[in-house]
Amino acid sequence: MKHYLYHSSSRDSARSFPALLDAERLFLDSLAGRSPRTTSTYRSGLGRFREFLQARGIDPLAVTTDRFGPDELERFYTWLVRAYGRDDRFTVVTYVAGVRAFFRFLARRRLLPETVSFEELRDNLREVLGRVPYKTPRIDDRLALIVTYVDGLELPPAHGPGQARLELLRDRAMIRTLFATGMRREEVASLDRADLQDGRARQAIVTGKGHKERLVFFDDTALRAIRDYVEARGDTYSPLFLRHDKGRGRPGAGGRHFRLSAQSVWGVVKKYAAAVGVPASTHDFRHAKASVMLNRGAKLSEVQDILGHASPETTKRIYAHYEVSHLRDVFDRFSASAEELVEALEEPPPAPLA
């Protein structure tokens, strides 16, 4: 690939700009209040960005932040698409999100050339992002079998060895929560007992992506499973879903060290999905919730609020194709056959007014 660096202005020459790796360290330090998963994801994106620079003949160890131009994100995205393919959009967008956040940080700290704004970087990226269609999620119709399978498993005896009974009660409550609410796995893992009053409250406020709060709703079956699990635990630990394995160590304040991780939530779903023979992950429960509601007549704006999408365009882009049942009803009610239209032509004209 052709070697390319942005030429900063004469005003920038009087300023001091950090090396890329130093800027990365400042950025990652600024994420101290974010989740470890976010930090890890952004670090991975920055790693791909350094590979992108090397592919352009630019030494990531020597380049400074004043050498980045207004089309940097656009060029990075295009390179990722070539490297991973147009179908692996999730991977590409994940890496771009990390580098996009990095450039927003640079702009906020005035570590970009004076003539380069984050708004221009963002707009140039949007131009190319809009050219690649989002692949509509394909949800296996048998997803609900995972829920009924877990519910149908026989509970180990209450006074049996180990924590098998508690683990199964937890898994039932967790699977029912995912199915009922459409929550992200990180949101499920972060639930506290107080959020749901130990399974007595029908709704809870959770903090989702971008630290935005939203209301999530639980059905009676999920709440019953939560109550069964919490009552069987007999503890006062704060997290709703706990680890029950022997290696969990000491509980920490309020049992915070026992909290089940988001990755473990994913692992529980994969375990039962494999047992049933249905390819599924935690996010498939989210997609299934949206598709069922849309097919039963819910509006896109309503699904947007329930799922916590920041933009209605996100909901529309992902789920528009799932409004099949509603559209079929409209098609059947308001279409007319050729015979009906011909018959209408043959009707006698109305009698003249007296």
Q: What is the model's pLDDT at position 2?
A: 44
For residues 106 and 25, what is the distance between their CA atoms, to the nearest angstrom?
12
Residues 176 and 201 in one domain: yes
Q: Mapping DSSP to helix (H, G, I), strand (E, B) and coil, where does residue 9 land? A: coil
Question: Model confidence over 241-295: pLDDT tens digits?
Answer: 999 988 888 999 999 999 999 889 999 999 999 999 999 999 899 888 888 887 7
Residues 165 and 275 occupy one common structural domain: yes
DSSP label at residue 167: H
Of 250, 279, 308, which residue sits at a domain end? 279
110 three-class SS = coil
Residue 277 per-residue DSSP state? T
Query: 94 in a domain, yes or no?
Result: yes
- What b/e readout covers 188-215, taking b as 16+ CB neighbours within 10 angstroms? bbbbbbebbebbeeeebebebeeeeebe
85/55 same-domain check: yes
Residues 161 and 92 in one domain: no
Of 76, 192, 136, 171, the residue nearest 316 (C-alpha): 136
Distance of CA 44 to the CA centre of its chain: 17
- Same domain (yes/no): 149, 260: yes
Cα 341 to chain center, whole Å?
48
Distance CA 32, CA 278 (A): 38
Residue 69 lies in a domain: yes
In this structure, the answer to whether residues 123 and 217 fall within a common structural domain is: no
CATH number of the domain bearing residue 85: 1.10.150.130
Domain count of the chain? 2
Q: Based on the domain organization, do 261 and 164 belong to the same domain? A: yes
pLDDT recorded at residue 316: 65
The answer to whether the CB of 275 falls within 8 A of the CB of 227 is no
Question: DSSP readout, 75-87?
Answer: HHHHHHHHHH-TT
Residues, the chain: 354
Provide the residue range defining the domain that includes 70: 10-129
Are both 192 and 245 inside the same structural domain? yes
161 in the same domain as 270: yes
Closest Cα to residue 275, out of 140, 144, 150? Answer: 150
How far, in Å, CA of 198 to CA of 228, rounded?
9
- 24, 69 contact by CB (below 8 A): no
Cα separation values, 202 from 144, 180, 224, 303, Å: 21, 11, 11, 18
Asked if residue 222 lies in contact with residue 285, where contact means CB atoms within 8 angstroms, the answer is no
| pTM for the full predicted model | 0.61
Phi, psi of 195 (to 5 degrees): -60, -30
Is residue 330, in this structure, part of any structural domain at all?
no
Whether 38 is covered by a domain: the verdict is: yes
What residue ranges in 95-135 does DSSP mark as E strands? none
Assign residue 148 a region (left: φ > 0; alpha: ψ between -120 and 50; beta: otherwise): alpha
Which one of 66, 95, 129 terminates a domain?
A: 129
Last residue of a domain, one of 129, 159, 192: 129
342 part of a folded domain: no
Buried b (16+ CB within 10 A) or exposed e, 3-41: eeeeebeeebeeeebbebeebbeebbeebeeeeeebbeb
80 with 196, same domain: the answer is no
Same domain, 158 and 82: no
Per-residue pLDDT at 32: 86
In a domain, 137, yes or no: no
Q: Which amino acid is at 199?
A: G
- How many Å apart are CA 5 and CA 176, to the nearest integer? 53
Residue 325 lies in a domain: no
> Residue 1: its pLDDT value, please?
40
pLDDT by residue for the chain (354 residues), tens only, comes to 444 455 555 555 556 899 999 999 999 999 988 878 788 889 999 999 999 999 999 999 999 999 999 999 999 999 998 888 776 777 888 899 999 999 999 999 999 998 899 999 988 888 877 654 555 667 788 999 999 999 999 999 887 767 999 999 999 999 999 999 999 999 999 999 999 999 999 999 988 776 778 889 999 999 999 999 999 999 999 999 999 988 888 999 999 999 999 889 999 999 999 999 999 999 899 888 888 887 777 887 888 888 887 666 666 666 665 555 566 666 777 787 777 787 888 666 566 665
- Same domain, yes or no: 172 and 245: yes
pLDDT of residue 317: 63
| Residue 318 falls inside a structural domain | no
Tokens of 161: 């060895």
CATH for 194? 1.10.443.10
